Structure 1
Amino acid sequence: MPQPETLLTQPATLTATPARVESIDILRALTMILMIFVNDLWSLKGIPLWLEHVSHEADGMGLADSVFPAFLFIVGMSLPFAINARRKKGDSGATLVGHVISRSIALLVMGVFLVNGESISEATTGLTRAGWNTLSCLSFILIWNAYPKTVAKWVLYGSKGLGIAVLLILAFIYRGEEEPRFATHWWGILGLIGWAYLAASLVTVFARNRLLFLVSAWTIFVLLSIANHADLLPEAIHVIPGAISGGTLVGLTMGGVVIATLFQTYRNRGDNTKMTLVFLAIAIILIGLAIYTRQFWGISKLRETPAWLFLCSALTILAFIGIYWLTDVAGKANWFTLIKPAGTDTLLCYLMPYFAYAFMGFLHLRLPEVVLIGSIGLLKSFLFALLCAWITGRLNRAGVKLKL
């Protein structure tokens, strides 16, 4: 049996591992369902506080505060599989770096457009928020849709060109309530994912499956997070986007990379039991680190504290262990068929609520008050999330599938 130091220094063996792992897709789908669910809680009244975000100053976490970090962790879990699959197809290091940069730019663009929609001045811009979000999301689909190879070139480039033109026009006519012109108020959820993805992906490309390299990178970003909250970072580091220099968001994503690399190694050996024990041990250590660091900076999503990083990483690992045994080992993946599109085309599923809210606004529709309160309201939001996943699946079958 390989010793720990051998596991750390030798590259993971990847030949027997597929480019997609069903349990990771299902974990991603469940996380996206939860994300849509908690993002819809604003429409409800009389719901438990523990479901919602806590305030910036609070030391604590609601369910909503655990979803975004879980998604970042899962982004990291997908990276070794995706990068290895592209290497097997013949992509060079330079090609991989170019692919990473293009995907990051796409996420940043989407994030900034959706963020500007939050503070749009409808009267000055001459466009409603619903109209802005609809046109933006339609443009994203036109630009980044995975068009069939049989589509004529003029249709392909015409659609992409139209999407780019619409975004440029929107940016030109935009007027905001706070900022007069189109600007990066903040990067938005998609933009933050884009920055974390950029840093973690570049590390993963150059690491070439060397676990010691990956663990070292995770440690560096964790130390950045701690140094940032201890006010030990030099002022010059702020030229780097905060989503990277702050350490926490990339630390979450790199944690996923490390776990996925370990997963590949143990799965190729067929050693599920040892893998589970190792993952449980890692989760316990992370929970211990969360408890220890909480005394200094608390647990906070909005402040991106180290304790939040450690605890959410541990919770995601535990969730993955359970789903892996249920789906890959026990063969119950069919239980999640309805939501699977939320895991295989997560970006399109994420955009669905923007279309739904715009549709309701255009038609001046409002749900009865009785379905917006308490338990019935929570059921409504959960069913809404399921509906978004179902529509995503139908759109995929119709040829609409986002691929960055």
Structure 2
Amino acid sequence: MTVRADVAATVARTHREEWARVVAGLARRFADLDIAEEAAAEAFAVAIERWPTAGVPPNPGAWITTTAHRKAIDRLRREARGDELSREALMLAGDAGVVDVGAVDDDRLRLMFVCCHPVLSMEARVALTLRVVGGLTVSEIAHAFMVQETTMGQRLTRAKAKIKAAGVPFRVPEREELADRAEGVLAVLYLIFNEGYLASGRHSDPLRPDLTGEAIRLTRLLRDLLASRSGEQHEATGLLALMLLTEARAAARVSSDGELLRLDEQDRSAWDRALLDEGLALVRARVDAAAHGEAMLDRYQILSAINAVHASAPHARDTDWSRVVTLYGELERVDPNPLVTLNKAIALSELHSPQIGLAMTERLAVPLDGHHAFHATRAELLRRSGRPEEARAAYDRAILLAGNTAEVAHLIRRRGDLAASTKGETE
């Protein structure tokens, strides 16, 4: 049966808005991630089946929550053995889930700490959190990790089983555990934000404001938590600043016909001034503190400082590229990886010449051959260096690898412009 378009849209919107809250509430009550995720998925499946004929309920989120709880209890009934029957009776009576959850009254943040427990590898922590908190599909997560969907499904199943076997409590960790666990949570929040900032699936909306908004909200909560528990929230401050400065550009990042716009193509008057001001204030505070010897700048603080340079320029031509190059040099020391060097190459091409940036980019061919950003950058630098045929081939490769609809549209347009300009030169 084909689901009516309006009902399908409502289900999709409800999933984006309610998935994390529903799963988090179920996980707290039943202390089992597998039950929580399965029950939530079943509730949405029932919605797809019933809402086209019965109508969308007045409060879709509440309907999903109630249905998911019933599905979870049904599963426990089917699996009940021994003292689990008593556990079910307590739940049905409404007394279940009364557990010590710590000082933070937010199920989703606590669920992130569960997913980011040290019993899991960092890769498993990221994948599990993207699934149960971010609400990404197994297919989307598999694409992000560049593995088969079946492989990722198996990894997620094993991760949930490890969490259950270890008896990880549904609470914010104690003060002595907080710093180590927070690092993983920050890394996952950054990835969730990035997925919203530039969605990986070609079938998805190019931007996911539900994910970026939730990542910002949870980062604020985590920053407050770290400040109250340990006084050390520098990384969280840097990440929050980075998110705010990036999110401020959201309204200008995609054209009316769905094409991604580069920084130099964006209407800067459409940037959100309130978010910019808040992000810039956080960056200034951290840079000033580092200058007075309070703390060295970490990865997120450097990234936010780079974004602050772009945010402070009235026009793209006013960008302080020398400062950007310096900051990427610092980032290479703190977090050396090929993508950082690629961005440094782009900055060097703006500061000096496309040939200098291209020479640095070419040296990254081995580690980044499977990454669309490498080929897109190479295409632009080849184009500016007067090598159109090589640029066209690089655009082709970038288009093949890109996973975002708006980015694909941008690359196709740039390739088309290149063809038009080349034709003009030969006529």
> TM (normalized to structure 2)?
0.29
Q: Which protein, 1 or 2, shows the higher relative CO under an 8 Å CA cutoff with sep ≥ 6?
A: 1
